[in-house]
Structure 1
Amino acid sequence: LTSKNIQCMRTLLNLAHCHGAVLGTSWQLVLATLQHLVWILGLKPGVGGALKPGRAVEGPSTVLTTAVMTDLPVISNILSRLFESSQYLDDVSLHHLINALCSLSLEAMDMAYGNNKEPSLFAVAKLLETGLVNMHRIEILWRPLTGHLLEVCQHPNSRMREWGAEALTSLIKAGLTFSHDPPLSQNQVKLQLLLLNPLKELSNISHPDIRIKQLECVLQILQSQGDSLGPGWPLVLGVMGAIRSDQGESLIRTAFQCLQLVVTDFLPTMPCTCLQIVVEVAGSFGLHNQELNISLTSIGLLWNISDYFFQRGEIIEKELNKEEAVLQKQAEEKGVMLNRPFHPAPPFDCLWLCLYAKLGELCVDPRPAVRKSAGQTLFSTIGAHGTLLQHSTWHTVIWKVLFHLLDRVRESSTTADKEKIESGGGNILIHHSRDTAEKQWAETWVLTLAGVARIFNTRRYLLQPLGDFSQAWDVLLDHIQSAALSKNNEVSLAALKSFQEILQIVSPVRDSEKPDTPPAINVSVPVVVGTTTATSLGRSFMRTDSIGERIGRYSGSEPPVIADEIEDLNLWWAAWNSWYRIGSESTRPPITCDKLTFIPSQPFLTALIQIFPALYQHIKTGFSMDDLHKLGVILHGAVSVPISSDASPFILPSYTEAVLTSLQEAVLTALDVLQKAICVGSESMQIMYPAIFDQLLAFVEFSCKPPQYGQLETKHIANAKYNQIQLFAPAEWVALNYVPFAERSLEVVVDLYQKTACHKAVVTEKVLQNIIKTLRIPLSLKYSCPSESTWKLAVSSLLKVLSIGLPVARQHASSGKFDSMWPELANTFEDFLFTKSTPPDNLSIQEFQKNESVDVEVVQLISTEILPYANFIPKEFVGQIMTMLNKGSIHSQSSSFTEAEIDIRMREEFSKVCFETLLQFSFSNKVTTPQEGYISRMALSVLLKRSQDVLHRYIEDERLSGKCPLPRQQVTEIIFVLKAISTLIDSLKKTQPENVDANTWAQVIALYPTLVECITCSSSEVCSALKEALVPFKDFMHPPASKVQNGES
């Protein structure tokens, strides 16, 4: 390159500089030449499009002399000045210049296709330079300029693209910072949109390097011009939102950085109409699946956005309403409907609904962490800010947001994969409760259902006046029901907790001092209700007020008045029906017993039964016998369900404790709530007493006959004292220890009977007979009961019940209502006092005597409560009792006793009491009519026969024993009989002669020969008793009466 060449170039440059305005299409030639020069000189474009000498000059062909080297900077300078002076060209000439640059650039682009050599960037650099100096009239050149640069940005050559993007973004930034006249901030909407449009157009280009440039430009615009973007916001936000999941992590990260900047710094400065776009963009980042942290952070941004809406609600609402009016007017002029999402809800409410809908979408994201975070945010937002919504908007929230979400979650949960998910690489372990997609969806289901239930509970007063609240209630109950009956323990238990929650209706808080404890209405079951504050609870229904007034009223003192109160019976009956369906489905025993049988867990059943008291408070007025029967089926079913052997160590009490499981406690609580309600209820309710007794008595039977759960094989745990559990038993299911439960039920029966014995229904339905019949089971088993405590409690209960029930039975003697009870009672006494079960070998003598004293108590009851009233009691019954006493008064010797034990084990005390009772009733000084005397005659003949038997046996044994003394208890017995005979004769003498019939005297006198035979006995004690017995017979010894003839003896 010689100096002549250089001189030539300088001339050309000067020509262009001075006469650019008349060059017209000749610019093409001039520029092509200049491009060639630039290439020869190795000038490279720098910042702002100016050309600077490159680092190394390409190719050996270009040899620059030293002289030329010194001219280089001068030439580069003149080149720049040439394009700077384009600002003085008129508009037409400027267009010629730009067209020439564009066509030069197109040539360069064509040459760069499929070519790895460095492309010529001269034209692009000079387009940038020309654009920058002509900012004051940018409108006239902007479209052709940016249109061409956008094409350059799509070029396959990366260096070419990079400069196209550099030029375009530099122009946009310069355009926004330039001091236009009038300034951009003064309503230059058109110009601003013109400047920003190419930025948006870049979103259609898929090259990542271009998109990075685009987003860096957005970030710089936000940092420098964010406050004054105004009408340009939708475009800028659109650029962020246009990033797709498949465009790589770094792009998504940069775009997200822009969004974070917007949310933290620029929400107050952007027009309110753009807020909805911010919500959508933030939501779209939540759905990106490249980077979990970005999804989670975007959910946090949505929460911040909602907070901003809440704090500036009034301003936003005003501005949106103003905008809405304008749009409405335009739509009417065009004769079209206003079209926006969630129309016709007011615009401010639509903003909230868009936010809820976005969070709702994120609640069904494939990633569990995103679902969980979105769910918590959605329900917190509705909980904290829902009061701002207009009343009618709640309809959309319930149906379009919440129920729609529940449907989707339920569907995904029921179709989720049951395959185990392998732990993620490295050392990350997945907990076993979350190691399948199904379990992870279960967590989402739980969270969603709980959230919806809490909203129904705390916002009830807002939802109830909506026209279709009862349909919504039914849908919610349906969701609770399907979750409760799902075969996943976590979901089913959570569904019941949600059920509990919607029954604890929270009335709006009056006392702003205690916002954390909403008062529940008539509730006995403690349930954690989501924290509701005074601020977020009250919201009036009239919608003419502004947000400011509303917010003021939330903290005000009067809660909203609720028309026709919350006690809407139909709703509660729908809840009862749902509860019954859940209960009957879940407690129904399986038909087959394969390995996969689903058995509900104990916490589930406990929660199910604990719901009843709260539910009952709402439906007690219409609760019928039929409903009580349904309840009984569920209670019985729930108690019969066995426990999985894996869970048994955590649920079963240790063997030595006699405690109830929480399920058994809940069942008794449910019955207790019922009986208390019946007690204070109307006459029609009180006919339910017998049904409650039946239910409790069925539980009492469990002590001896544990319930079966379908065909399921279970191992039973009885009292450990007699029956240690075999831990290696093959059964997979363990039946509970029913003894403490049955015994507690029995205590309840006794307690309830003491209160209700005289009640008409209790008398008519033969409750006393049923109690006796049930008690007969443990009493006849006696020592064979699974637990020793059972028969002891049964006998003490029987004594308590009889002491109350027998007077009632005598009172109704004539009505025949108790006729069938007497034989049952006689058989029960018989089975207990003369049990067929043998005492265990390890029973100590003290224990035996204790047990004997119980038998004695029973006989004492007979002597105080039954026999004195014999004239009100059927004769057959009295006859049975007499036979029993007779049998008891004869020593019944068991063959299994050893000689040493014989003394003690003969139940001597018992025999004595039986004998005394016979003696006591064998005569009566009070008898006034022959009918009343029948018990005396009966007792007497039994007693005399009994004495005769004892005497005969003694004489026989004495004769056979030779020199050996007889056993002590036999000697005691004969002494007792002899004393009884003397007492009896004394008593007979004192009795009015007409009250003792001849037959009795004959039996007494018949004893005399037998007594005489005893005289040979060897025992001195027997002799002295015999003497006392023989003395009274002197009164029977009269001389024989002489015959009377003719009035003379």
Structure 2
Amino acid sequence: MPATYCRNSWTLWSQTLELNVSLTSIGMLWNVSDYFYQNRESFKKTLATEEKDFLSLKDMVKLQPFDRLWMCLYMKLGDFCVDERPAVRKSAGQTLFSTVSAHGGLLHNETWQAVFWQVLFPLLEKVESLSTVASDQKVDANGSILIHHSRNTAQKQWAETEVLTLSGVSRVFNSKQPLLHQLGDFENGWTLLLKHIEKSALSRNTEVSLSALKSLQELLLINTKTGEKGDNQWLQAWRITINIGLSATTPSDNKELFVPSQQFLTSLVLVYPALFQHIKHRFTTEILDSLFGVLNNIISVPVHCDASPFVLPPITENVLTPLQEGILCCIDCIQGSDWVQPNFVPFGEKALSMIVALYRKTANERMVIEENVLTEIIKGIRVPLRLKQSHPSHSSWRIASEALLLILKIGLECIQRNNSNDDSFWVELPITLEQFLFPDTTDCGVVEPNADDSADCKIILLLKEEILKNPTSFPPHFLLSLTKLLNRGSVQSLAFDCGNSVRIREGFAKICFETLLQLSLSGLADFNFSNGDSESQQNHPNGEATNGEDETVANRLAVTALLHRFQDVLKRYVHDVRLGGTCPLPTHRVVEATFVLQAVSTLGRSLQDAELDKVHLQTWHQLIALYPFLVELTEFAPGSVGKSVRDALHTFLTLLTPPQPFNSD
């Protein structure tokens, strides 16, 4: 009787194209399954003699009679799941997985093996095959019913069936994984299910691809066996996930462009942290490289302009997109006209902070030193530093400058402590400093001068503290590059054009000049510099040049250029004051002249305090040559200029003739 009822139900389904009749027959099968469950004890007794021929299906003779009856029911529901009518497929799929979930506990272990390999996996493969070849032409509803745009093609309708089938099989597999381990089928089932998930995840239908990732996330909740077999299964899942990321974000040779959605990419990124927990004890540099290859591709995927209002925050807000937050979470767990790019500013700022924190912890690690990580950081940080004058977010270059201070303080101490011989660092550092301290001035109106000067001065003060305490331990070619930067800051930072206005960097010019003088008069007269050719720049750690004509620091430093600059400023100031008559000069010219006079006073006192053999005769003559211009300024030097003139003249009391003895070289 039970088998006859089942047979009548699916015979009724197979002999009619009437939709309501087919749906009714599927409903009858659900009622039958519920009836079987409630009367299972009586059925087990009667099935041993009833309708043996009907129940003796192929490959099922070893099953218990009651289990064979369930298999007949599951197999017929599986046939209904690939019906050409979407409503029938949906109803049959829901009934099949509900029946398996609700009444599957009655089945013996061997029967579950048949359910997976004769019903569920074949059904999944058949649905994927039919979904692939389904037409993308709009379905003609003959005016009888309106069809939603998400279901108006056969391809979209089969996509719904694929979602239902894949999610259902994944749930059953997840719930029965202990049983599969016991039967020895888990490894084969795991491999096959991952292949189906990978294929569906790469579908161009967003509904299918997101469902595949959701199924993958559910699989991560499985507690596999520990040991090598369990590790290999998680590594297999990692490779599948990496393949999904690379395939989805790598442009294909097809003419039709396909760009994955931000929602899909975000869901994919969130899989990696959960999967990492299962393989972290076997994590290698190859695995890390594969992950960052995928993340680099993902963060570069543009957002379609139609979706950007729903995905991207306003450019004026420092808010991360969900995808960027997912990528940072992933990193943290392991320590055309129609396209627009998301705002990378907050993403970059957060990543930079993480780099500083990580370098602080690992600076003294042998691998970090040998791989020249410090040099790579110094090179990479140039991007936000050199854009400080035009960056849309002021916080970016400030964060970068603070990061540079911390990195340099840690890095210089680490180099001294470990005697690092990475000569490329001493070449790259002056380049980074130059691009930050002397950026392009074509657009510098967006940065407040005080904030700009403060950040610049902090950099010079750090170099002053770290280098002047033991300058002989630094490579000569680096000291020469630093000297050029200090000289440039002293003579060019007094005032410079910034569009239609003038920026005054008096504080920065002063600290550069003072540092330059201290470096010049710090007892380095016997410290040799090479003549600058390529071979001579290979210096010993103790600072001795291996080749080239030696010159003293005083000659190599730009004191001569500074004095020429001072003379030019004072000469032009005197000329313009006389030419202007009663009209005062611009403020920046007065500030410039005041600074020069203060610098002259500082230079005079420094030269008097220095040892005589450390100062060249020409330097004395150049300083004395400024005296006539100081006298000229006394005629019309008001306010701060007049006071500075008097202070400068006082220093000339002992400088009217060169001191004896002097170095005439």
TM-score by length of 2: 0.86
Q: Are 1:465 and 2:182 an aligned pair?
A: yes
Aligned twin of 1:755: 361
Asked whether the 8 Å contact 1:602–1:663 carries over to 2, the reply is yes
Aligned twin of 1:481: 198
**Residue correspondence of structure 1 range 145-184 to structure 2 within 5 A:** none
Aligned twin of 1:521: none
Alpha-carbon shift at residue 765 of structure 1 (Å): 1.3
Aligned twin of 2:346: 740
Distance 1:567 1:619 in 2: 12
**Residue correspondence of structure 1 range 90-105 to structure 2 within 5 A:** none
Deviations 1:832-882 (A, max 9, x none): 222224125xx36x7243333332333233223344342222111111111
Q: Are 1:815 and 2:420 an aligned pair?
A: yes
Alpha-carbon shift at residue 986 of structure 1 (Å): 4.4
Distance 2:376 2:339 in 1: 32
Equivalent of residue 1011 in structure 1, options 627, 632, 640: 627
Q: How many residues align?
A: 633
Unpaired segments ≥5 residues, structure 2: 529-541, 545-550, 661-665
Asked whether the 8 Å contact 1:918–1:939 carries over to 2, the reply is no
Equivalent of residue 240 in structure 2, options 558, 578, 602: 578
Judged with a 3 Å threshold, the aligned counterparts in structure 2 of structure 1 residues 1039 and 613 are, in CA distance, closer, same or farther, namely closer
Alpha-carbon shift at residue 566 of structure 1 (Å): 11
Aligned twin of 1:382: 100
Distance 1:985 1:1039 in 2: 12
Aligned twin of 2:135: 417
Alpha-carbon shift at residue 933 of structure 1 (Å): 12
Alpha-carbon shift at residue 451 of structure 1 (Å): 0.4
Distance 1:667 1:417 in 2: 37
Judged with a 3 Å threshold, the aligned counterparts in structure 2 of structure 1 residues 646 and 945 are, in CA distance, closer, same or farther, namely closer
**Residue correspondence of structure 1 range 640-651 to structure 2 within 5 A:** 640-651=300-311
Equivalent of residue 861 in structure 1, options 462, 465, 468: 462
Alpha-carbon shift at residue 481 of structure 1 (Å): 1.6
TM-score by length of 1: 0.56
Q: Are 1:874 and 2:479 an aligned pair?
A: no
The one-letter amino acid paired with 1:611 is V
Distance 2:137 2:499 in 1: 67
Deviations 1:194-236 (A, max 9, x none): xxxxxxxxxxxxxxxxxxxxxxxxxxxxxxxxxxxxxxxxxxx
Aligned twin of 1:617: 277
Judged with a 3 Å threshold, the aligned counterparts in structure 2 of structure 1 residues 1012 and 647 are, in CA distance, closer, same or farther, namely closer
Aligned twin of 1:394: 112
Aligned twin of 1:908: 506
Aligned twin of 2:321: 661
Equivalent of residue 343 in structure 1, options 61, 81, 84: 61
Distance 1:1040 1:777 in 2: 50
Query: What is the DSSP-based 3-state SS (H/G/I as helix, E as strand, rest coil) of the residue aligned with 2:558?
Result: helix
Judged with a 3 Å threshold, the aligned counterparts in structure 2 of structure 1 residues 296 and 942 are, in CA distance, closer, same or farther, namely same
Alpha-carbon shift at residue 349 of structure 1 (Å): 1.4
Q: Are 1:1025 and 2:626 an aligned pair?
A: no
Unpaired segments ≥5 residues, structure 1: 1-273, 329-336, 508-561, 676-713, 715-730, 1042-1049
Judged with a 3 Å threshold, the aligned counterparts in structure 2 of structure 1 residues 304 and 565 are, in CA distance, closer, same or farther, namely farther
Query: What is the DSSP-based 3-state SS (H/G/I as helix, E as strand, rest coil) of the residue aligned with 1:815?
Result: coil
Asked whether the 8 Å contact 2:480–2:557 carries over to 1, the reply is no
Asked whether the 8 Å contact 2:473–2:543 carries over to 1, the reply is no
The one-letter amino acid paired with 2:505 is R
Query: What is the DSSP-based 3-state SS (H/G/I as helix, E as strand, rest coil) of the residue aligned with 2:333?
Result: helix
Asked whether the 8 Å contact 1:919–1:939 carries over to 2, the reply is no
Asked whether the 8 Å contact 1:922–1:936 carries over to 2, the reply is no
Asked whether the 8 Å contact 1:341–1:350 carries over to 2, the reply is no
Asked whether the 8 Å contact 1:908–1:969 carries over to 2, the reply is no
Query: What is the DSSP-based 3-state SS (H/G/I as helix, E as strand, rest coil) of the residue aligned with 1:1016?
Result: helix
Asked whether the 8 Å contact 1:757–1:804 carries over to 2, the reply is yes
Aligned twin of 1:278: 5
Alpha-carbon shift at residue 499 of structure 1 (Å): 1.4
**Residue correspondence of structure 1 range 555-954 to structure 2 within 5 A:** 568-591=230-253, 594=255, 596-675=256-335, 714=336, 731-785=337-391, 789-812=395-418, 814-817=419-422, 819-839=423-443, 843=445, 847-892=448-493, 893-895=495-497, 901-902=501-502, 905-924=503-522, 937-938=553-554, 942-943=558-559, 945-947=561-563, 949-954=565-570
Aligned twin of 2:538: none
Alpha-carbon shift at residue 668 of structure 1 (Å): 2.0
Asked whether the 8 Å contact 1:924–1:936 carries over to 2, the reply is no
Asked whether the 8 Å contact 1:477–1:578 carries over to 2, the reply is yes
Quick check: 802-811 or 962-971, which moved more?
962-971
The one-letter amino acid paired with 1:415 is V
Distance 2:23 2:96 in 1: 13
Distance 1:1026 1:732 in 2: 64
Alpha-carbon shift at residue 344 of structure 1 (Å): 0.5
Aligned twin of 1:50: none
Distance 2:58 2:603 in 1: 109
Deviations 1:282-323 (A, max 9, x none): 233344544323322332332232223333334433444x54
Distance 1:371 1:753 in 2: 57
Which structure has the larger Rg over C-alpha atoms? 1
Asked whether the 8 Å contact 1:921–1:936 carries over to 2, the reply is no
Query: What is the DSSP-based 3-state SS (H/G/I as helix, E as strand, rest coil) of the residue aligned with 1:277?
Result: helix
Aligned twin of 2:44: 317
Judged with a 3 Å threshold, the aligned counterparts in structure 2 of structure 1 residues 940 and 479 are, in CA distance, closer, same or farther, namely closer
Asked whether the 8 Å contact 2:137–2:154 carries over to 1, the reply is yes
Deviations 1:948-994 (A, max 9, x none): 53134303431453135554444444444444444455455556x4x
Distance 1:933 1:768 in 2: 21
Aligned twin of 1:161: none
Deviations 1:682-707 (A, max 9, x none): xxxxxxxxxxxxxxxxxxxxxxxxxx
Query: What is the DSSP-based 3-state SS (H/G/I as helix, E as strand, rest coil) of the residue aligned with 1:820?
Result: helix
Asked whether the 8 Å contact 1:645–1:732 carries over to 2, the reply is yes
Q: Are 1:435 and 2:152 an aligned pair?
A: yes
Alpha-carbon shift at residue 1000 of structure 1 (Å): 4.5
Asked whether the 8 Å contact 1:882–1:939 carries over to 2, the reply is no
Deviations 1:482-541 (A, max 9, x none): 212222221122111111111221x6xxxxxxxxxxxxxxxxxxxxxxxxxxxxxxxxxx
Alpha-carbon shift at residue 736 of structure 1 (Å): 3.0
Alignment root-mean-square deviation, CA:
3.4
Aligned twin of 2:547: none
Distance 1:1028 1:484 in 2: 78
Aligned twin of 1:520: none
Judged with a 3 Å threshold, the aligned counterparts in structure 2 of structure 1 residues 285 and 745 are, in CA distance, closer, same or farther, namely farther
Quick check: 1027-1036 or 910-919, which moved more?
1027-1036
Distance 1:301 1:933 in 2: 93
Asked whether the 8 Å contact 2:624–2:656 carries over to 1, the reply is no
Asked whether the 8 Å contact 1:958–1:966 carries over to 2, the reply is no
Aligned twin of 1:127: none
Aligned twin of 2:173: 456
Judged with a 3 Å threshold, the aligned counterparts in structure 2 of structure 1 residues 1038 and 452 are, in CA distance, closer, same or farther, namely closer
Alpha-carbon shift at residue 742 of structure 1 (Å): 2.9
Quick check: 368-377 or 277-286, which moved more?
277-286
Distance 2:52 2:152 in 1: 52
Deviations 1:679-738 (A, max 9, x none): xxxxxxxxxxxxxxxxxxxxxxxxxxxxxxxxxxx2xxxxxxxxxxxxxxxx33333333
The one-letter amino acid paired with 2:154 is A
Judged with a 3 Å threshold, the aligned counterparts in structure 2 of structure 1 residues 604 and 930 are, in CA distance, closer, same or farther, namely closer
Quick check: 856-865 or 434-443, which moved more?
856-865
Identity among equivalent pairs (%): 43
Query: What is the DSSP-based 3-state SS (H/G/I as helix, E as strand, rest coil) of the residue aligned with 1:806?
Result: helix
